[in-house]
């Protein structure tokens, strides 16, 4: 029997989840492109897989926002929002720390969650996943944007029909034995249609095409297992191997056979997961985490202070700091320092940081203040309750120094991580930042669609 479906609140969104088993270790499955908690249990292939995984763990399943039984917001979910969903489900089932399993597209959010919340991640397990889902000059795998659009149009026109799944390409994608099982093919087509509407599928696919998490992989500090099949049409072996090489200490396993699914070797896959989950060593305690750093400064502060006088200037700054702290509370930021007329704050996600600084800029305008800012996401070392230090902090400061007037500049890492958020950017060139070894590409926030 399928376990009951329950709901966790992630902000204003309801996230559907299920719990299987009662073992002492928690295993969270971050689903791929489309899932559906009710329909999963109608397939004996998935049911036996979940029951087996629930025999050695407390398996936590969920439908990410926009898919399955979870709420369907108007906008497509960003990676930042997806890891909020993982955290909300863990909170709902009172899971302090869990092993996080990210197959296929679910690997992107699993990686970001592990890097952002290492204290809540026992280990990271990846299967058939990639750090980037579109080909680029420095990334020779995956399809080009044009090829993806052609395939997407074909898929939507076919309407997830049985004829579509009977094509040689989809048979290769599914692999044995399910590609020869008419009942599974019929179920899979129905699950795809029920799990995500055509418009939502298009929006989700286009957002996923913008994902690039290569910059954050070296910041993952938990035990990691990366698995990939010899002939996976979705993710090449060399592509997965290159991804594993970017994660410190990651174990890479090549599995036999073809197909993106693994039902012909499911017992081998589950055995690897069980061995890793029940025998994986605890990570070395570390205060190093992935975080987003915001540097905010007043443009022309010296001239403004001289024009107002010391007392009036102090009054303006006090009112500005009150407004800034109110915005930090709204967007989940943590104040680190407000020395002078500057502000240093940290966030769990870059989109929240950008929206926060834009809100502060709007509030400060009636005070006659123009604010420029820099935002960067990277690994930092936490010192005490709120202080942070590391190269990422210096990077954010140097990027802020490049901005002028009311500009908000961000690093390429930030731009890649907020794909799908509606935020738009303009390239501002490649800059050699003082004290940093490699030039950085910088972008200006130009608006929000």
pLDDT in tens, 173-187: 999 999 999 999 999
- Residue 283: what pLDDT? 55
More confident residue, 413 or 385: 413
- Give the tens place of pLDDT for each residue, 87-131: 999 999 999 999 999 999 999 999 999 999 999 999 999 999 999
Q: What are 203's strand-pairing partners?
A: none
Average pLDDT of span 393-411:
91
Q: What percent of the chain has pLDDT over 70?
A: 98
For tokens 């036999």, what's the residue? 256
For residues 271 and 241, is the Cβ–Cβ distance under 8 A? no
DSSP 63: P
For tokens 């400060």, what's the residue? 364
Of 414, 53, 81, nearest to 266 by C-alpha is 53
- Residue 73: what pLDDT? 85
Is pLDDT of 282 > 60?
no
Q: What are 15's strand-pairing partners?
A: 8
Peptide bond into 370 cis (omega under 30): no
When mean pLDDT is compared across 198-202, 394-398, 425-429, the lowest value belongs to 198-202
- Sequence-distant (≥ 6) Cβ neighbours of residue 111 within 8 angstroms: 102, 124, 126, 129, 131, 213, 216, 217, 220
Alpha-carbon distance 33 to 76, whole Å? Answer: 12
Length of the chain equals: 449
- Residue 2: what pLDDT? 86
Alpha-carbon distance 371 to 345, whole Å? Answer: 15
Helix H or strand E encompassing 371: strand 371-383
- In this prediction, residue 388 has a pLDDT band, given cuts at 50, 70 and 90, of confident
The dihedral built from the CA positions of residue 278, 280, 286 and 290, taken in this order, carries a sign that is negative
More confident residue, 288 or 174: 174
Could you tell me the residue ranges of all domains in the chain? 6-279, 288-448
- Give the tens place of pLDDT for each residue, 303-351: 877 888 878 888 888 888 899 999 999 998 999 987 777 889 999 889 9
Peptide bond into 5 cis (omega under 30): no
Is pLDDT of 285 > 80?
no
- In this prediction, residue 352 has a pLDDT band, given cuts at 50, 70 and 90, of very high
Q: What percent of the chain has pLDDT over 90?
A: 62
Other CB atoms within 10 A of residue 78 CB: 24
When mean pLDDT is compared across 134-143, 202-211, 275-284, the lowest value belongs to 275-284
- Residue 284: what pLDDT? 52
For residues 395 and 376, is the Cβ–Cβ distance under 8 A? yes
CATH number of 288-448: 3.30.70.1230
Q: Which CATH architecture describes the domain 6-279?
A: 3-Layer(aba) Sandwich (3.40)
Helix H or strand E encompassing 356: helix 350-364
What is the pTM (predicted TM-score) of this model? 0.85
More confident residue, 281 or 11: 11
Alpha-carbon distance 394 to 389, whole Å? Answer: 8
Average pLDDT of span 264-270:
93
Q: How far is CA 165 from CA 98, 162, 191, 195, in A?
A: 35, 5, 13, 17
In degrees and rounded to multiples of 5, residue 69 shows phi and psi of -95, 0
Average pLDDT of span 43-58:
94
């Amino acid at each position: 029997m399928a376990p009951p479906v329950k709901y966790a609140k992630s902000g204003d969104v309801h996230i559907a989840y299920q719990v299987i088993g009662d073992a002492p270790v928690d295993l969270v499955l971050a689903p791929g492109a489309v899932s559906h908690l009710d329909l999963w249990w109608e397939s004996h292939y998935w049911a036996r897989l979940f029951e087996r995984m629930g025999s050695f763990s407390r398996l936590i399943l969920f439908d990410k926002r926009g898919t399955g039984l979870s709420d369907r917001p108007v906008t497509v979910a960003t990676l930042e929002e997806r890891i909020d969903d993982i955290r909300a489900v863990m909170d709902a089932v009172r899971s302090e720390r869990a092993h996080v399993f990210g197959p296929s597209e679910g690997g992107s959010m699993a990686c970001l969650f592990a890097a952002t919340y290492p204290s809540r991640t026992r280990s990271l397990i990846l299967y058939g996943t990639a750090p980037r889902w579109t080909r680029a000059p420095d990334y020779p795998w995956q399809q080009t944007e044009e090829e993806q659009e052609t395939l997407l149009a074909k898929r939507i026109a076919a309407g997830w029909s049985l004829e579509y799944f009977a094509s040689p390409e989809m048979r290769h994608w599914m692999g044995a034995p399910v590609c020869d099982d008419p009942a599974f093919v019929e179920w899979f087509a129905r699950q795809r249609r029920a799990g995500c509407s055509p418009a939502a599928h298009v929006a989700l696919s286009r957002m996923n095409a913008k994902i690039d998490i290569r910059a954050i992989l070296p910041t993952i500090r938990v035990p990691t297992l990366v698995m990939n099949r010899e002939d996976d049409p979705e993710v090449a072996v060399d592509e997965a191997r290159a991804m594993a090489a970017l994660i410190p200490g990651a174990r890479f396993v090549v599995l036999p056979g073809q197909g993106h699914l693994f039902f012909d070797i499911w017992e081998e896959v589950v055995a690897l997961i069980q061995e890793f989950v029940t025998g994986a060593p605890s990570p070395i305690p570390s205060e190093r985490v992935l975080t987003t750093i915001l540097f905010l400064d007043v443009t022309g502060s010296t001239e403004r202070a001289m024009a107002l006088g010391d007392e009036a200037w102090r009054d303006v700054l006090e009112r500005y700091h009150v407004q800034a702290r109110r915005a930090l509370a709204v967007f989940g930021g943590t104040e680190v320092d407000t020395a002078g007329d500057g502000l240093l704050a940290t966030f769990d996600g870059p989109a929240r940081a950008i929206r926060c600084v834009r809100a502060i800029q709007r509030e400060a305008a009636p005070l006659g203040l123009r604010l420029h800012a820099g935002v960067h996401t990277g690994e930092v070392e936490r010192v005490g309750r709120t202080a942070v230090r590391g190269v990422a902090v210096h990077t954010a400061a140097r990027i802020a120094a490049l901005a002028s007037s009311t500009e908000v500049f961000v690093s390429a890492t930030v731009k890649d991580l907020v794909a799908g958020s509606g935020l738009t950017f303009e390239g501002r060139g490649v800059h050699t930042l003082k004290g940093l070894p490699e030039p950085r590409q910088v972008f200006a926030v130009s608006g929000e669609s």
